[in-house]
Structure 1
Amino acid sequence: MQRICVIGGNRYFGKLLVERLQAAGCQVTVINRGSVPPPAGVGHLVVDRNDEAALTAALDARTFDVVVDQVCYTPVQAAVAARAFAGRTRRYVMTSTIEVYDPATAALPAVPPRTPVSEEVVDPTAWRVAMDLPWHDDAYLEAHYAEGKRQAEAVFAHAGSFAHADSFAFAAVRSAHVLGGGAREFTGRLAHYAELITQGEEITVHAKALPTAFIHYEELASLLSWAAGADFTGPVNACSDGPLDVHDLAGIVAAQAGREAVYRTVPAGEEASPFSFDRHYAMSNARAKALGFSFSRTSDWLPGAVAEALAVSAASTD
């Protein structure tokens, strides 16, 4: 029986991950601040992961086969966790993001236009870490979300690179934009499109909007569960086959709503609706496939996710 610790795991795909690990016979322990209790039969440590002394005390003598970290956003948080779990786990899996590839947030190696970006474009073992930035400031963190994730990966990659008894193997799952789940979808972006289109309001798009990658929340939970039981290290991209641009996405919503999407075009560099991108960073999932994970196509699950979003939108206007 695998002993797995999930940090976070109290909402959306993290909650589903916990349920799936438990159903697979794993002994699961969830660490969070206690706002939402885990399912019956799941261990629960109520502690703030930012408080290193409290986290270390709460862990006590516990050890785990794998830690899956759902809520690490900064190198400071990563350093606290790396020290706290040194000698307590053999494997550490961090949920990361497609945002690490956003060329608007860092000087990244150039890739040919419309070429899916592979993992080596952002190498955590070579990424510079700056602990002295104001990572504890919520406004700074929100504005530097992508960089926080890149540096968090880097801290874990270095923590797991030393050949001594306390080191652990590290993997980062870089998730595409997550959709599905209806009212559970905490970003609300698909519901936002459902509301705009059903109400006939404008969707703001770039003149040459480029495609990006998506993944269903259930598929991401499946991939994280797979990653916990695998032995690969380093980053792996998690996205369904079939990138979409904002017009593709809005068109599917409009078709199911029986309405027409209304667009307003803005130049590159200006703010637009979610998933309208004036720059390219759609991911390649070739490495995950080569390691043995099989992805769905976005077109397989998106109509169902749109139907859920339309139902939520309709309920909110009743």
Structure 2
Amino acid sequence: MSEQIFISYRRADSTSEAGRLYSSITKELQGGTVFMDTAAIDVGTEWAQELEDALTAAQIVLVVIGPDWLRISDEWGMRRIDQPQDWVRREIERALTTDKKLLPVLVKGAKLPPVDKLPESIRDLVQWQAVDIRDAYWDHDIQLVLQQLRMEVETTQADRGEMGDSQVYPTPPPEKPDPLSEEKISIALGASLASWKIVSSPLPQDLTKVRTELCRSYRFKSFSDAIGFMHQVAPGCDIAMHHPRWENLWRTLNVYLTTWDIGHAISDRDIQLAKYLDHAYGEFPGAAID
């Protein structure tokens, strides 16, 4: 499989974080899916051409931005980002002009640069929603990145006919997904989502209609932990553009997932978000896991 994910970064700004990101993605999504120059270019290969080929083949470009990403200059004091031959600038320009998906990844406390401080050719970078990966919470925050990558890679594989019938077929927003069949829901609940169940109830806005939801209860050590968990996973829900209905009862959080724009039925969006929430709960220090 050709590399579908391209990691763009500045060596003087975020080499270690980019390498850690590469390792995490490779471990989760299998080798051959992600390209990073120092890891993917063989000795003796034409370096510039290899970068061009990998960027052309990629479906998604991760732009790793550290605190010095914008300010790094050459020996004459000129910002590298202002130089047309700068590789980071060229990578972003190519991604923007070929309609690739971009995902800015902020590390070491960095923020997205002000739009007026960027060259005009790459100002659209700031229009893409960024993910902040905090060093102390790497294992949690990396899930926000992996969630997006799974959706992109698996959708591409589904288009190519590379996925089996027993696997989930995520369709990223804003496209509407299809409701999952009872068989596929049963497969998911019988495997990695065994703690979830299906519930049905009247739709509050229209009592003549029924909503079908995935439901699970999470228990915590304290009320503050329950609220803290909701706060921690909220950015992931925003990035997935899919949000739960939840009820907080002291130390218990009841979560309900359904896809409203297909008639309040269960779709792949709900399966993916349930997996993300379960992983976050397993890593959350305030979880009251039996």
TM category (shorter chain) comes to 0.3 to 0.5
More contact order relative to length (CA 8 Å, sep ≥ 6): 1
By percentage of residues, which structure has more helix? Answer: 2
Greater Rg over alpha carbons, structure: 2
